[in-house]
Amino acid sequence: MKTKKITKLVAMMLAILTLSMLLASCSGSGGKDKETDVASSTESPQTQQQTPQSSGTPDTSAAETEPVETEPQTLTYDSLTVDHEMELSYAKNFSVTYYNGGFKLISVADGSKLLVVPEGADVPENVPDDVFVLRQPVTNIMISSNPTASLINAIGALDSVTMTTTDTDAWYIDDIKSAMTAGKLSYIGEYDAPDYERISASGCTLAIYSGMLTDEVKTQLNNLGVHVLLDMTTEEEHPLARVEWVKLYGAMFDLEDKADEVFDAQAKYVDEISKLPASGKTVAMFYITSSGKLYARKAGDYMTKMLELAGGTYILADVGVGETGTVNMEAEAFYDAAKDADYIIYIWSMGGKPETLADMLSRSEILSEMKAVRDGNVWCTTPDYFQISDTLGSMINDMHLMFEASADTDALTYLVRLK
């Protein structure tokens, strides 16, 4: 019995000794790893960069350089930074400033300002009260200026216009007339008495008016939350400036390239004519109403400037110097001043729209003695002439072609010979 107890005791002691040796071995191995880490930490930075880190050692660099979250900066009106200004050749009554992020500021000479906000962008905070915020895409606008409608139509943005103060039968621009017939564009009442209830119900927030805008209409529209943009093309000095307003609408609808294309095509006409010698021909421009009143274009009018750009000379150079529009003249006084004009450009109007030479002469017999009548050089503008601003260069070119037209030329694009 004693022998068996001694044997069990020896076996137990051997097991304890073996376990102790195993524990010592594990302890030694751990110490070696620590020594390796210390040795690695004493290597030069260059050596550390060249030695790939063991996949078994956790990377703690990310935790040590964890980025600090910052609050996003609030977009404010003052924080917008200017990228560039729109380049203009002739227009003086508007400007467009481009900002980073696609924002645009349209400024008109009357003091009106529109901040165009790109689609999907947040409206900046602290926009001044005198700056109207116009979000893209621009839709559902009202127009009370026919030439403006022609510019918007020329760049392909007519679908954005839903209301106009010119009724269907009074339009002579085919695209616009078709839009009204199809119900895409609605007559909203006269320019000085639009249907405010319908405007309010439509949700319209932008109306574009010509210089015929009255304070009463503007106030009424503003009270409905409708901002009024004044189209000041009639205040421009150069005829091509009227065309260049297409660039303002190009910026509004994000169609700058198309607007440049429209303007450049018209400016090219004038540029080509300027390289040619003047015709030396004199021209009278007038119309007679159904009641017999005669109105001649003033010497400072844009049409007389168009004539000069075409190489002609306005024969009534002393009438209305520096003024635009027309002046009422007695038939005898007009005849005395214009009887020797080489050409007549008769202005088609609702009150005076002759289809033949006889129709025109029936309004005033004294006109039959004018040189232009005797020579067969009487031309009349087409009905759409004053509704269009996007093709003034082509109209100027027609005046130039008129001087060179043969006797059997009956019509140009915007001028028709009266026979």
Q: Give pLDDT, residue 27.
A: 45
Tokens describing residue 306 = 């168009």
Q: Give pLDDT, residue 353.
A: 86
Q: Give pLDDT, residue 45.
A: 39
Tokens describing residue 142 = 């009202």
Cβ-in-10-Å burial (0-12, 13-18, 19+) of 280 comes to exposed
More confident residue, 31 or 333: 333
Per residue in 70-82, pLDDT (tens digit) is 555 789 999 999 9
Give the DSSP H or E segment for 83: strand 82-85
Q: Give pLDDT, residue 12.
A: 54
Q: Give pLDDT, residue 71.
A: 56
Q: Give pLDDT, residue 69.
A: 58
The sheet carrying 161-164 orders its strands as 186-187, 161-164, 141-144, 206-209, 227-230
Domains and CATH numbers, the chain: 78-267 (3.40.50.1980), 276-417 (3.40.50.1980)
Per residue in 202-218, pLDDT (tens digit) is 999 999 999 999 999 99
35-49, 253-267, 322-336: least confidently modelled range = 35-49
Q: What is the mean pLDDT of residues 380-404?
A: 97
Per residue in 217-262, pLDDT (tens digit) is 999 999 999 999 999 999 999 999 999 999 999 999 999 999 999 9
Q: Give pLDDT, residue 67.
A: 59
Per residue in 44-97, pLDDT (tens digit) is 434 344 444 444 455 544 445 565 555 557 899 999 999 999 999 999 999 999
Q: Give pLDDT, residue 232.
A: 97
d(CA 170, CA 387): 10
d(CA 131, CA 116): 10
Per-residue confidence band for 34, with pLDDT thresholds at 50, 70 and 90: very low
d(CA 8, CA 14): 10
Q: What is the mean pLDDT of residues 391-410?
A: 97
More confident residue, 200 or 2: 200
Average pLDDT, the chain: 88
d(CA 380, CA 360): 10
Of residues 392, 381, 363, 413, the one with CA closest to residue 285: 381
Residue with tokens 């007695």: 330
Per residue in 3-30, pLDDT (tens digit) is 444 445 445 555 545 445 544 444 444 4
Per residue in 275-318, pLDDT (tens digit) is 999 999 999 999 999 899 999 999 999 999 999 999 999 999 99
Q: What is the mean pLDDT of residues 168-184?
A: 96
Per-residue confidence band for 389, with pLDDT thresholds at 50, 70 and 90: very high
Q: Give pLDDT, residue 156.
A: 98
